[in-house]
């Protein structure tokens, strides 16, 4: 399939160069070879340079996911928006992955259990126990494309149906997931501060939460109880029978439900019709001149593609770009967040995070693993000069309860900067403001216009009958 896509890409590229060549070559005297580079038809000098760079970096059209089973998508849609999946029936996936907020939640770190409201206006609910999630909510764009095998900012879940899955559940990781996205959906349910709820707290109807007294590590028990909730809910009968024809509902497990959510997310959040996609498919008029100049920088002097490589602008690897260490931090190292290093235990990987895909990036701020930057331009400028960025960082741009929690003592900064990724370079002179504008135009060219309005993915109701609103 990949080689077929490649051939098609090359054919359309050859066709489009051929077409514009015809115009020029016919007009040119045959022996003047230099005319070869003077296209004034469908392809400009910028296009020639950019297409050469894209070929050099092996950037090709992204392979679309296979069509999803409509019955799985319908079940997954209901589950994604259904608070029945959370211990206290008070929070659903969409709370943090909103169609209105770039499939994330617009907060630097997510407010989960004990909070109420949507997006940036979500606040602690009275005096209920409330902890921030340790990270910025990731977006869900294109997570279902073939090859997206690494999940979370630190890659602690990975794998595919052929090679198997690795996850925080260790040996308890089910292996009957369709793909890493399907596997992922089983995990937001387990942490107490995220969807499960704290001990002793009642659900929204004043009833006990049967998940509340478990621990985050009781994966199997949590998954069985959540599956039982869905299977025992009459509202789900039809959806389950349609999605799993011939399967007894009592034989369903969490992987089946997760796969359905994966199918829904794939259907809802695949976003591969941006100007950049159309340019890759051969349409030279799809991107503005400024976006093309930005792309030339991205794939050239600014070296962005050293990490943000391939059609999705990620190498799926981990790098330390010395993002400001603000907010709660995560795990034993809090208030620091060691990222990949905390998963592998290898100090040389401390402060590394998975290179984010930049698709639809302008829709999903704040940016970085902890939402350190409110503005996309600031996130980009950070890469260009991390030293100055850390020295001048304004920690009031994160959630107000966390504002000012910035680990910027000289010793910590030195430690973080000591393993800064060497690929973080700009060749030649520093970028000027116009060049940064061009880079921003290129970021805009990565937005799929269809993602600007996702009203149609929101159901009118969910199968359990719980309210959609918070
Ligand atoms: C309270 C907020 C919250 C809720 C509820 C929530 N998520 Fe997330 N989600 C996050 C955060 C934060 C991350 C990043 C965590 C990390 O990397 O450590 C994330 C990451 C993800 C990712 C990984 C994307 C990637 O690029 O690796 C997927 C997929 C996802 N969530 C799907 C879901 C699904 C499905 C549900 C419901 C079952 C859900 N989320 C519920 C906040 C939330
Ligand atoms: C050395 C690898 C590397 C290079 C080179 C690099 N980036 Fe990044 N980029 C990353 C990593 C890793 C992160 C996430 C860091 C974190 O959250 O702590 C990131 C974050 C970002 C973000 C924020 C994304 C989000 O979802 O929060 C943007 C935008 C971005 N990079 C754009 C660029 C641009 C534009 C360039 C070139 C000027 C560039 N990057 C160069 C690795 C790199």
Q: Is the pLDDT of residue 32 over 90?
A: no
Ramachandran region, residue 155 (left: φ > 0; alpha: ψ -120 to 50; beta: rest): left
Q: Residue 116: which CATH number? A: 1.10.760.10
Q: Give the residue-averaged pLDDT of 162-182.
A: 95
Q: Is the pLDDT of residue 22 over 70?
A: no
- 244 shares its domain with 292: no
Place of tokens 């269809």: 450
Positive or negative CA dihedral for 413, 352, 349, 58?
negative
- 223 shares its domain with 321: no
Picking from 109, 124, 112, 64, the residue whose alpha carbon sits closest to that of residue 87 is 112
In degrees, to the nearest 5, what angle opens at C-alpha 65 toward C-alphas 62 and 66?
A: 135
Distance 155 CA to ligand 1 centre (A): 13
- 220 shares its domain with 107: yes
Domain hosting 419: range is: 275-449
Percent of the chain with pLDDT over 70: 91
Pocket around ligand 2: residues whose beta carbon is below 6 Å from it? 302-304, 306-308, 319, 321, 323, 353, 355-356, 358, 361, 367-369, 376, 379-380, 383, 421, 423-424, 439
pLDDT at 470: 83
Pick from 212, 239, 270: which residue ends a domain?
270
Pick from 210, 245, 270: which residue ends a domain?
270
Distance 297 CA to ligand 1 centre (A): 32
Ligand nearest to the CA of 298: 2
Q: Whose CA is nearest to atom 34 of ligand 2?
A: 304
Ligand nearest to the CA of 439: 2
Ligand 2 nearest-atom number relative to CA 365: 27
Q: Is the peptide bond before 336 cis (omega within 30 degrees of 0)?
A: no
pLDDT at 6: 37
pLDDT tens per residue across span 6-20: 333 333 333 333 333
Determine the Cα–Cα distance for residues 267 and 459; give it in Å rounded to an integer: 14
For residue 445, being part of any structural domain is answered with yes
Annotate 407-451 with three-state secondary structure. CCCHHHHHHHHHCCCCCCCCCCCCCCHHHHHHHHHHHHCCCCHHH
Pocket test residue of 86, 89, 122, 137 for ligand 1, highest count of atoms within 8 A of CB: 137
The count of domains in the chain is: 3
pLDDT at 14: 37
For residue 460, being part of any structural domain is answered with no
pLDDT at 469: 85
Place of tokens 């389950």: 240
- 81 shares its domain with 182: yes
Q: How confident is the model at residue 42 (pLDDT cuts 50, 70, 90)?
A: confident
Helix axes 254-269, 70-80, angle to 10 degrees: 100
pLDDT at 404: 86
Indicate the range of 3-12, 54-63, 69-78, 123-132 predicted with least confidence: 3-12
- 205 shares its domain with 338: no
pLDDT tens per residue across span 254-290: 999 999 999 999 999 999 999 999 999 999 999 999 9
- 265 shares its domain with 337: no
- 262 shares its domain with 290: no
- 168 shares its domain with 317: no
For residue 463, being part of any structural domain is answered with no
pLDDT tens per residue across span 211-260: 999 999 999 999 999 999 999 999 999 999 999 999 999 999 999 999 99
For residue 157, being part of any structural domain is answered with yes
Pocket test residue of 351, 383, 443 for ligand 2, highest count of atoms within 8 A of CB: 383
Q: Which residues of 333-368 are buried (b: 16+ CB within 10 A; e: fewer)?
A: eeebbbbbbbbbeeeebbbbbbbbbbbbbebbbbbb
pLDDT at 74: 98
In degrees, to the nearest 5, what angle opens at C-alpha 418 toward C-alphas 412 and 421?
A: 125
Tally of CA atoms within 13 A in the half-sphere of 164 that contains its CB: 7
Percent of the chain with pLDDT over 90: 89
pLDDT at 84: 97
pLDDT tens per residue across span 372-419: 999 999 999 999 999 999 999 999 999 999 998 999 999 999 999 999
pLDDT at 38: 40
pLDDT at 37: 43
Q: Give the residue-averaged pLDDT of 83-102.
A: 96
For residue 468, being part of any structural domain is answered with no
Pocket around ligand 1: residues whose beta carbon is below 6 Å from it? 85, 91, 93, 95-97, 110, 112, 133, 135, 137-138, 140, 143, 151-153, 181, 184-185, 188-189, 194-195, 261
Q: How confident is the model at residue 43 (pLDDT cuts 50, 70, 90)?
A: confident
Ligand 2 nearest-atom number relative to CA 366: 27
Distance 140 CA to ligand 1 centre (A): 8
Q: Is the pLDDT of residue 468 over 70?
A: yes
Q: Which stretches does DSSP call E strand in 65-111?
A: none
Q: Whose CA is nearest to atom 13 of ligand 2?
A: 355
pLDDT at 36: 40
For residue 236, being part of any structural domain is answered with yes
Average model confidence (pLDDT) across the chain: 91
- 249 shares its domain with 279: no
Distance 269 CA to ligand 2 centre (A): 21
Pocket test residue of 295, 307, 432, 443 for ligand 2, highest count of atoms within 8 A of CB: 307
- 107 shares its domain with 247: yes
- 230 shares its domain with 117: yes
Picking from 359, 317, 365, 324, the residue whose alpha carbon sits closest to that of residue 158 is 317
Ligand 1 nearest-atom number relative to CA 262: 35
Q: Whose CA is nearest to atom 11 of ligand 1?
A: 137
Place of tokens 């159309």: 278
Kindly report the pTM of this predicted structure: 0.91
pLDDT tens per residue across span 301-314: 999 999 999 999 99
- 279 shares its domain with 259: no
For residue 58, being part of any structural domain is answered with no
For residue 54, being part of any structural domain is answered with no
Q: Whose CA is nearest to atom 9 of ligand 1?
A: 137
């Amino acid at each position: 399939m990949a080689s077929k896509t490649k051939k098609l890409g090359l054919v359309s590229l050859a066709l489009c160069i051929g077409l514009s060549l015809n115009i020029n070559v016919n007009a040119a005297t045959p022996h003047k070879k230099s005319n070869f580079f003077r296209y004034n038809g469908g392809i400009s000098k910028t296009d020639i340079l950019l297409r050469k760079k894209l070929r050099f970096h092996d950037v090709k059209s992204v392979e679309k996911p296979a069509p999803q089973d409509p019955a799985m998508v319908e079940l997954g849609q209901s589950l994604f928006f259904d608070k029945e999946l959370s211990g206290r029936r008070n929070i659903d996936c969409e709370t943090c992955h909103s169609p209105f907020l770039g499939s994330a939640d617009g907060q630097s770190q997510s407010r989960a259990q004990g909070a109420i409201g949507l997006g940036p206006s979500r606040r602690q609910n009275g005096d209920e126990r409330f902890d921030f999630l340790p990270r910025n909510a990731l977006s869900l764009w294109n997570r279902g494309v073939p090859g997206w095998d690494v999940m979370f900012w630190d890659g602690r879940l990975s794998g595919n149906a052929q090679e198997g899955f690795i996850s925080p559940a260790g040996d308890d990781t089910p292996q009957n997931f369709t793909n890493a996205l399907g596997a992922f959906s089983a995990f937001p349910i387990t942490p107490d501060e995220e969807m499960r709820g704290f001990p002793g707290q009642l659900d929204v109807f004043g009833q006990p939460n049967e998940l509340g007294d478990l621990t985050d590590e009781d994966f199997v028990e949590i998954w069985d109880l959540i599956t039982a909730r869905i299977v025992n809910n009459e509202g789900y009968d039809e959806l389950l029978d349609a999605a799993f024809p011939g399967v007894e509902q009592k034989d369903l497990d969490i992987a089946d439900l997760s796969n359905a959510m994966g199918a829904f997310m794939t259907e809802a959040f695949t976003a591969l019709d941006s100007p950049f996609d159309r340019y890759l498919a051969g349409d030279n008029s799809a991107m503005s001149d400024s976006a093309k100049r930005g792309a030339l920088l991205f794939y050239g002097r600014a070296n962005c593609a050293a990490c943000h490589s391939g059609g999705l602008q990620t190498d799926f690897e981990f790098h330390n770009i010395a993002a400001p260490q603000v907010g709660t931090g995560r795990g034993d190292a809090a208030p620091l967040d060691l990222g990949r290093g905390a998963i592998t235990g290898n100090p040389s990987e401390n402060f590394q995070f998975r290179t984010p895909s930049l698709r639809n990036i302008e829709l999903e701020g704040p940016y970085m693993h902890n939402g350190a930057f409110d503005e996309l331009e600031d996130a980009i400028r950070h890469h260009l000069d991390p030293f100055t960025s850390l020295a001048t960082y304004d920690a009031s741009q994160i959630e107000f309860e966390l504002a000012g929690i910035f680990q910027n003592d000289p010793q910590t900064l030195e430690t973080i900067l000591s393993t800064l990724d060497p690929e973080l370079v700009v060749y030649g002179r520093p970028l000027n403001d116009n060049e940064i504008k061009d880079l921003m135009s290129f970021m805009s060219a990565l937005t799929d216009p269809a993602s600007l309005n996702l009203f149609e993915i929101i159901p009118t109701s969910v199968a359990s009958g719980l309210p959609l609103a918070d």
